[in-house]
Amino acid sequence: MKTLFVITSISMFFWIFPAVKQYKTELFWYFFIFAFTDPLTLIISTQIHNVSNSPRAQTFFSFLLMLSVLWSLKNKKSIKILTSSVLSLVLFSFFTNRTITYSVMILIHVIITYFFIKKTFAFTANSGKVNIFHLILLLEEISIVLKTSTMLISFNPGYSYYIATNAFEILIAIFFTLYKEENEKLFIDLRSA
The series of mean pLDDT values per 10 residues for the chain, 193 residues long, is 78 94 95 92 74 80 95 84 94 90 96 96 95 97 89 70 84 96 94 73
What's the confidence (pLDDT) of residue 34? 92
Q: Could you tell me how far CA 126 lies from the centroid of its own chain?
A: 26
User: Can you tell me the distance from the alpha carbon of 60 to that of 37, in angstroms, rounded to the nearest whole number?
Assistant: 9
Q: Is 50 helix (H, G, I), strand (E, B) or coil?
A: coil
What's the confidence (pLDDT) of residue 156? 65
Beta-ladder partners of 74: none
User: By the 8 A CB rule, do 145 and 109 touch?
Assistant: yes
Packing angle of the helix pair 77-93, 98-127 (nearest 10 deg): 150
Q: Which helix (H) or strand (E) holds 58?
A: helix 53-70
pTM of the model: 0.90
What's the confidence (pLDDT) of residue 193? 59
User: Can you tell me the distance from the alpha carbon of 8 to that of 165, in angstroms, rounded to the nearest whole number?
Assistant: 10
